[in-house]
Structures are given as C-alpha cells and as structure tokens.
C-alpha cells in the first residue's frame, strides 16, 4: 500500500519529466482525449487512472526506470537496515545479558537501554516530520542526490522508515535472543545503582514501567519483596540466605519491558512511517506542478486551429536568368487590363501609330478584334514590335498567356512583344520584386517572342537595371 502511493508519485514524476520534451499541443490532445474517454465511461479522471492508462499504452516492460531505480535504492537501504538491526539486536542482547556468574545482570542498565531505544525511535519520527536530514551526506555518498526533486523531498520519510524497520528487527531479534538465553542459561538479574535510593523508590519506578502489562501478566510486574531482595552492590561479597531462584524472577519483567517499550514503539512507529510516506507522497503528488498542468489539460477543450499543414518550404522558384531589355522604339502600344488608365502620358503616346486595349474589363471578343487590328497594323510597320503595357502589381495570369499565344499565331513571324510593367503612378518605376514576376513570365512564354522593358526615367534620375530608349 505504501509502495503503491510512492510508486504512483515516482511514476508520475518520471512521466512528467519525460513529457517536458513533448509539444504542448500533443500533451493537451492526449490528456484531453483521456478525460473525454473517462467522461464517456462515467468515471472521474485522476492521476492514478491517468498513470494506469499511460502504463497500459506503453505496454509491458516499458516501466519507468527512474522510479524503479529509486525504489530499488530504498529497498537496498531498507534491507541493509534490516540486516544490521537483526545482527545488532542479537549482539546487543547478548551483551546486555552477559553473565559470568560473579555479577548480576543489572536491570537498571536494561531499563536505561530500552529508554534510549525509545528516545531514538521517537527522534527518528520527529526528524522525518520536520525534514531534518543529518545523514544526508552519507546518503549522497551511496548515490542519492538529496536535491530539491521529488526523491530528494521524500528522503526524510523514507529514511525514517528504513531506520524504524531496522529498529524493529533489532527489537525482535533482541527479544528472541533474550528468550533463548532465558531458556538456555540460568540468568541472575538484580538491580543496582550508585544513587542513594531505596527499594521502595525503585519499586515505584518498576511498577510505573510495568503498568501497561501488570494487569495482564502480574508475574511480569515485580513486587516489592523481589525488588528489595534483588538489590546488589558490587562491593558486597555475596547474598545472605537468598534463594538463587529469586534472581531469575526478573526475566518476565525484562521480556515485557523490551516488548512494550522497545519492540511495540518500533512497530507502531514503523507503521506510522509507512503512513507518513503515503501522506507525503499524496501531498507531493497533489502539489506537483505537472499534476496541476495535467488537470488543466484534462479540463480544457483541446483547440486545434488547423495549423498542422506545413508547406512553408514549398515556394515557387523565383530565380530568373532574364534581364531587362532596352525599351524598343515601337509604334504600336497595347494596354493590358487597364494599364495606364485613364490616359497614357503624352511622352509615351506621341508618335504611336496604334494605341489599343485588351484584357481586364474587355470581353474575349474584344481581345480577338484587338489581335486582328494589331496584325493588320504590323503588316504596315517596318518595326515588328509591340509595346504591351501592364499593371506591374497585377500578376501575369493565364489570360495574358492565352492572349500572347494567340498573338504569336496571328501576328507576322518575327514580331516581338516588349512587356512594360507600369507602376501605379506611371511616372514612377515599379518595385523590383514586381518586375521580377514579369521577367519570369517572359521566360516562360519564350524570350525570343517576349521581353521585359521599363519606361525611361522621366526625371532622368539614373537607376541601375532600368531600360533606356534606344
């Protein structure tokens, strides 16, 4: 159960770390879909279900290695504490019960030792609650980072559980050793202290200690007579008229003392450590920033604005080998799709034999008439050349292409068309990028038939790349 909460947290954290590399839109879609599926099934989506779904989709064997690693690390630590506790429990009890026949086993030492054990157990729990980690440096040496991440923040409670479990094993093997020793050996217990105290005070202490079990097992609560009779002094030679069996009557007390004040607290605190781990894991999970983000993703509709399609690299070829040609001295002018409207400047129209229109608002029949008209005019001209004015900002379309194809068939062989893209204000030069599209168009139609020229600069301002009148 403890491991379940812990594993959920560690798995969730590992998953959150992995998700950091994922696109936000993908995460939103994934989690929103999960939430909607849950809604359809009438269940509330939560981190546990979500994690189960993630694991399910990953398939078997796709476990979270970092969570597994952390759990294995703490499993090793726990095993180490269990082993150490077991061994030290036996050795300590053997030490406490060391009896060479000349001296009594001092119950006061055992009471003090049990008290010390109790204190240690309580301190372990307290330090886990306040998050104090005096052993942090030691853990770092054996591989735990102890940083501000999830496993680092779990360290105090996990360490407390390891210590409590180790202490529990210590207490259990200590008790077993005691019982074995009671059976195998003739143990002589007594009590002794340097302090100036009498048997009645000591009896009160013993009664107080034995109060939890005195009603259950009266023999394990030494009476005043036993207390008074078993006091010994190291300096005294022997025991006057004392029945040797009396020395052994302390063992039930010692066994219950160990059980009640060393073993039981360790047991309770070990269980508490498990509860604390669960609580801490639940608390860390609830406060995990990734959980907040997950819940947000599950609650918020996934909006896809249609930005999947990517053709940014699929741009038309904008290179052209053609360059601008000088404006030919042609006597025929054709205005395509309203170019030069409402009227061409005198400097352009002067000396022209034919100025006509096509494209744009004209009908296709008008276009055909214009083609014929120009063909007739060309037959009378010495220069087989036509100036075709266009609006530079209106890109060349299929209609102009069709018109030029017809012109090529209809007009005398050797006729040349000079495309002249005009700016919105005829006296200005069109933008360079607009001229480029006309150059590319001329290259497609055939540069032997169509070239591109610009009007001369009225202000006689030199401008590189522009055509000049021949």
| Complex with other proteins: residue 413 or 433, whichever CB lies closer | 433
The DSSP string of 168-221 is HHHHHHHHHHHHHHHHHS---EEB--SS---HHHHHHHHHHHHHHHHTT-GGGS
Q: Is 287 in the site for other proteins (CB under 8 A)?
A: yes
* Interatomic CA distance for residues 457 and 354, integer angstroms: 23
Residues in CB range of 103: below 8 A, 6 or more apart: 234
* Interatomic CA distance for residues 77 and 373, integer angstroms: 101
Q: Is 432 in the site for other proteins (CB under 8 A)?
A: no
Candidates 31-39, 138-146, 257-265, 449-457 — which segment interacts with other proteins by CB under 8 A?
31-39
Q: Is 142 in the site for other proteins (CB under 8 A)?
A: no
Residues 434 to 453 in contact with other proteins, rule: CB under 8 A:
437
Selected from 433, 448, 461, 464, the binder of other proteins by CB under 8 A is 433
Number of residues that bind other proteins (CB under 8 A): 46
Selected from 261, 391, 429, 430, the binder of other proteins by CB under 8 A is 391
Q: Is 380 in the site for other proteins (CB under 8 A)?
A: no
Secondary element (H or E) of residue 321? none
Q: Is 316 in the site for other proteins (CB under 8 A)?
A: yes
Q: Is 338 in the site for other proteins (CB under 8 A)?
A: yes
Candidates 23-31, 107-115, 201-209, 407-415 — which segment interacts with other proteins by CB under 8 A?
23-31
Q: Is 364 in the site for other proteins (CB under 8 A)?
A: yes
Strand partners, 388: 334, 419
Peptide bond into 342 cis (omega under 30): yes
Q: Is 313 in the site for other proteins (CB under 8 A)?
A: yes
Half-sphere exposure of 186 (CA within 13 A, CB side): 7
Residue 51 Cβ, how far from other proteins at the closest point, in Å? 20
| Other Cβ atoms within 10 Å of 96 Cβ, number | 20
Q: Is 394 in the site for other proteins (CB under 8 A)?
A: yes
Q: Is 360 in the site for other proteins (CB under 8 A)?
A: yes
* Interatomic CA distance for residues 434 and 431, integer angstroms: 5
81 near 166, Cβ under 8 Å? yes
Enumerate binding residues for other proteins (CB under 8 A).
Answer: 23-25, 32-33, 36, 148, 287, 289, 300-316, 318, 337-338, 359-361, 363-364, 391, 393-399, 402, 424, 433, 437
């Amino acid at each position: 159960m403890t491991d379940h909460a812990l594993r959920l947290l560690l798995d969730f954290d590992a998953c959150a770390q992995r998700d950091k590399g994922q696109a936000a839109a993908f995460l939103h879609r994934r989690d929103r879909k999960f939430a909607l599926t849950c809604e359809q099934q009438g269940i509330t989506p939560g981190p546990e279900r979500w994690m189960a779904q993630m694991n399910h989709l990953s398939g078997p064997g796709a476990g979270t290695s970092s969570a597994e690693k952390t759990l294995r690390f703490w499993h090793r630590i726990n095993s180490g504490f269990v082993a150490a506790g077991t061994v030290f429990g036996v050795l300590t009890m053997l030490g406490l019960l060391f009896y060479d026949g000349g001296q009594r086993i001092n119950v006061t030492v055992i009471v003090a030792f049990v008290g010390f054990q109790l204190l240690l157990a309580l301190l372990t729990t307290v330090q886990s609650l306040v998050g104090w980690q005096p052993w942090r440096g030691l853990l770092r040496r054996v591989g735990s980072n102890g940083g501000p991440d999830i496993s680092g923040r779990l360290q105090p409670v996990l360490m407390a559980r390891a210590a409590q479990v180790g202490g529990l094993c210590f207490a259990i093997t200590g008790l077993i050793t005691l019982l074995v020793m009671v059976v195998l050996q003739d143990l002589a217990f007594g009590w002794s202290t340097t302090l100036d105290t009498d048997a009645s005070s000591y009896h009160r202490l013993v009664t107080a200690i034995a109060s939890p079990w005195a009603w259950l097992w009266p023999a394990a609560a030494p009476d005043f007579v036993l207390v008074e009779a078993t006091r010994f002094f190291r300096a005294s030679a022997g025991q006057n008229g004392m029945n040797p069996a009396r020395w052994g009557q302390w063992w039930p007390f010692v066994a219950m003392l160990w059980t009640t004040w060393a073993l039981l607290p360790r047991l309770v605190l070990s269980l508490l450590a498990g509860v604390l781990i669960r609580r801490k894991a639940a608390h860390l999970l609830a406060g995990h920033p990734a959980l907040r983000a997950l819940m947000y993703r599950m609650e918020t509709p996934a909006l896809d604005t249609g930005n999947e399609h990517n053709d940014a690299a699929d741009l038309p070829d904008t290179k052209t080998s053609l360059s601008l040609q000088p404006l030919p001295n042609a006597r025929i002018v054709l205005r395509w799709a309203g170019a030069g409207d409402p009227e061409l400047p005198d400097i352009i129209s002067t000396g022209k034999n034919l100025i006509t229109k096509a494209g744009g608002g004209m009908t296709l029949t008008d276009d055909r008439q214009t083609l014929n008209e120009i063909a007739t005019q060309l037959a009378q001209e010495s220069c087989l050349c036509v100036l075709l004015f266009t609006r530079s900002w209106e890109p060349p379309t299929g209609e102009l292409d069709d018109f030029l194809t017809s012109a090529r068939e209809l007009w005398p062989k050797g006729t040349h068309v000079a495309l002249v893209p005009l700016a919105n204000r005829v006296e200005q030069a069109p933008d360079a990028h607009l001229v480029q599209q006309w150059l590319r168009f001329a290259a497609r139609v055939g540069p032997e038939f169509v070239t591109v020229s610009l009007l001369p600069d009225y202000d006689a301002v030199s401008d590189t790349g522009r055509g000049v009148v021949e």
